[in-house]
Structure 1
Amino acid sequence: MERSGTRASMGGVATGQAPRVRPLRRPDESMSLLNDLFAKPLEPGYEDAAARRRAAGEKPTSERTWRSPALALGLVALGLLLTMAVVEVRNTASVVSSERQGLIEQIHNEDARVSRLQDDVTALESEISELEDSLLQNSATGQQTREEVESLQATTGAVAVTGPGVVVTVDDAEEQNAEDGTDRVLDVDLQQVVNGLWAAGAEAVSINGQRITPLTAIRQAQDIIQINYRPMNAPYEVSALGDSRSLANDFAHSAGGRWLSSIAGKNGIYYKVSSHDSLTLPAGNTPLSYATPGEGAS
Structure 2
Amino acid sequence: MTGTHAGAPPGHRTSRSLAWRVGTPVVALLSGSLLAVSAANSDGTDLRPGRYTDMAGLVEAEANDYQGVEDRLNELTDEVDQLGARVSDRGVNLARAEAAELRDPAGLTPREGQGLRITMQDAPDELVDEAIEFNKQADPEDRLKLNRFVVHQQDIQAVVNALWAGGASAVTIAGQRVISTTGIKCRGPVVQLQGVPYSQPFVIEAVGDQSGLLEAIDADGLVSGYRTDAANSQIGIGWSMEAEERVKAPAYDGLLDLQYARPLRN
1:163 is aligned to 2:131: no
Q: 1:190: how far off? A: 0.5
Q: Which residue of 228, 235, 241 corresponds with 2:207?
A: 241
Partner of 1:254: 220
Partner of 2:238: 270
Q: Which residue of 170, 176, 179 corresponds with 1:210?
A: 176
2:123 maps to amino acid: A
| Structure-2 change in CA distance of 1:239 and 1:120 (3 Å) | farther
Task: List 4+ stretches of structure 1 deviating above 4 A.
Answer: 104-110, 119-133, 290-297
Instruction: Kindly indicate whether structure 1 or structure 2 has the higher relative contact order, using CA contacts under 8 Å at least 6 residues apart.
Output: 2
Q: Distance in 2 between matches of 1:220 and 1:119?
A: 25
Normalising by structure 1, we get a TM-score of 0.49
Contact 1:170 1:270 in 2 (8 A): yes
Q: Distance in 2 between matches of 1:244 and 1:131?
A: 44
Partner of 1:289: 258
Partner of 1:153: 103
Partner of 1:18: none
1:111 maps to amino acid: A
Q: 1:188: how far off? A: 1.6
2:258 maps to amino acid: S
Partner of 1:8: none
Q: Distance in 1 between matches of 2:253 and 2:112?
A: 17
| Structure-2 change in CA distance of 1:261 and 1:290 (3 Å) | closer
Q: Distance in 2 between matches of 1:280 and 1:131?
A: 31
1:112 is aligned to 2:64: yes
| Structure-2 change in CA distance of 1:260 and 1:108 (3 Å) | closer
| Structure-2 change in CA distance of 1:263 and 1:123 (3 Å) | farther
* Bigger radius of gyration: 1
Normalising by structure 2, we get a TM-score of 0.54
Q: Distance in 1 between matches of 2:59 and 2:204?
A: 25
Contact 1:192 1:259 in 2 (8 A): no
Contact 1:199 1:254 in 2 (8 A): no
Contact 1:200 1:254 in 2 (8 A): no
Contact 2:110 2:250 in 1 (8 A): yes
Partner SS for 2:103: helix
Contact 2:174 2:202 in 1 (8 A): yes
1:194 is aligned to 2:194: no
Q: Distance in 2 between matches of 1:106 and 1:232?
A: 10
Q: 1:196: how far off? A: 0.9
Map 1:41-52 onto structure 2 (within 5 A): none
Q: Distance in 2 between matches of 1:281 and 1:172?
A: 27
Q: Distance in 2 between matches of 1:223 and 1:257?
A: 20
RMSD across aligned positions (CA): 4.2
Report which stretch shifted further, 193-202 or 215-224: 215-224
| Structure-2 change in CA distance of 1:105 and 1:265 (3 Å) | closer
Partner SS for 1:247: helix
Partner of 1:80: none
| Structure-2 change in CA distance of 1:295 and 1:216 (3 Å) | closer
2:248 maps to amino acid: L
Partner SS for 1:251: helix
Where structure 2 has 5 or more consecutive residues not aligned to the other structure, the ranges are 1-52, 88-92, 133-145
| Structure-2 change in CA distance of 1:263 and 1:125 (3 Å) | farther
Where structure 1 has 5 or more consecutive residues not aligned to the other structure, the ranges are 1-99, 136-141
| Cα deviations by residue, 1:90-140 (Å, 9 ceiling, x for unpaired) | xxxxxxxxxx99xx989855532422443565688799999999x9xxxxx
